[in-house]
Chain A
């Protein structure tokens, strides 16, 4: 279970990690500035298991993979939005973050308690007592997610081949 961090439409990658921090030496250093223009307390108050909820076009803007990486560093594993920008969607899966495209994003408010069951595809908003189901990602993309990302998936397959 986790708490929802609700954001609006078109959360771009400059909101997730502003440009000026991309030259910092490590993802850990950058992660302190995650979502800073939207909510300066996000990086210190986000707890493992919390869930980010956006609305339209989450992750639009630049191709910077530092965006999903800083989110992952803080413990983000699932993002729910009405839809995702293409490059961010792919970057998220490549780093083992599950992007769920679902209409329920409209019915989740900031700080709602959310439970997601990845096996059954069930999303429960415990604050409002509403339940939804999402179409689980399958096939190749599911394999990448299960491995924890594309690099881990490639490394694990290399292990199997040799």
Chain B
């Protein structure tokens, strides 16, 4: 294990530790040991089939490092879905895997609450696995064949990514959220602008953001193609782990990561948070971003508050703040899905749930829900949805003739109230 960071970025330093190397440089391919790997109901069975049938390996290398989460279709909505979940439970039982969650929420939120930690190297068969850079882990999405090889061996190869550092300055204005920062960044670099690269968030503006807000931005990084993300863990991260009842104590790792601050990287992009405004990603591409002010007034049929991007308690609180005492628009379908049971229970404890129910919303059990698009809140041809989710691909939530608009929680809730794309200041 290297003791000094030798001018490496935080991402390079963590990869070097897992490659058992003193240093690594961008572009080189290294073999790494994996701390944790994760899969869900969209990817687990295919991975099992590849490991057993094609790699001729019957058991995972270390059941304690394998996390399996059912989140895409909870509860099961068809015979096929139920069969998938039944087979997953059987696999988990056969392998002696304890880190199995059937009803607890979206995989990335469950990972954040229970398993991820600074300095870890985590790979998951879900593209939004890149989210955990928000707490100082190197994490990335992979396919089932790569995951099967990790299940079989505990190792994989990685190309060390170049780091693009986004230096955030200033503070978010009222009504502007981390989601708007994410959409601004994707608009700036385009949907392939960070392909193969690590996105590091730095600067005083990053420090001003709370951990859930950083998570939202890191989560969306894959929509610009990023391989992984990084925020050098600070006191806010440590406080967040205390709040999760699993304090992080490895001070030497934290010191080493701090030392990577300002290390040489491929490029730096300055972003002034004070100048941002609410943004919308329009159909059918996440980088088709426009200021809300350009398209407000557009009629909406469905609104969704939830997902691994924006389903945390802070998002539910913001929604409840805007919605309290109001009704949603006539004929509007408004779905609310807390990202996890923990979030759900907190919302119940704060008495936020009745605000949504009284307004006419549908409350769903935690999971991917409408963001995944094959399960709850399917759109008919010609319908439009505004959502806090992360993808607006053609047909993602039903008919290829429907339209999806990505926005922040406050824009989604304001639009649910008015029935048209609405600036949150208009409902307060």
Contact = CB atoms under 8 A, between A and B. Distances in A.
Interface of A: 9-10, 12, 14-15, 18-20, 22-25, 37-38, 56-57, 60-66, 68-69, 83-87, 90-91, 94-95, 140, 149-152, 154-155, 158
A25 B80 contact: yes
B144 A65 contact: yes
Nearest to B192: A57
Interface stretch (B59-67, B229-237, B259-267, B387-395): B387-395
Nearest to B126: A63
A91 B192 contact: no
A38 B284 CA distance: 12
Given A23-B83, A63-B127, A86-B225, 10 more contacts: A12-B393, A15-B395, A22-B374, A23-B73, A23-B81, A37-B394, A63-B125, A63-B142, A65-B145, A140-B157
Contacts of A22: 42, 374
Contacts of A57: 191-192, 195, 225
Interface of B: 29, 42-43, 46, 50, 54-56, 72-73, 78, 80-81, 83-84, 124-127, 129, 141-146, 148-149, 152, 157, 191-192, 195-196, 223, 225, 227, 285, 287, 372-374, 391, 393-396, 400
A19 B191 contact: no
Nearest to B197: A86
Contact of A37 (B50, B127, B223, B395): B395
Contacts of A19: 42, 72, 372-374, 396
A15 B391 CA distance: 12
Contacts of B148: 151
Contacts of B144: 65, 91
B126 A18 contact: no
A151 B56 CA distance: 9
B227 A14 contact: no
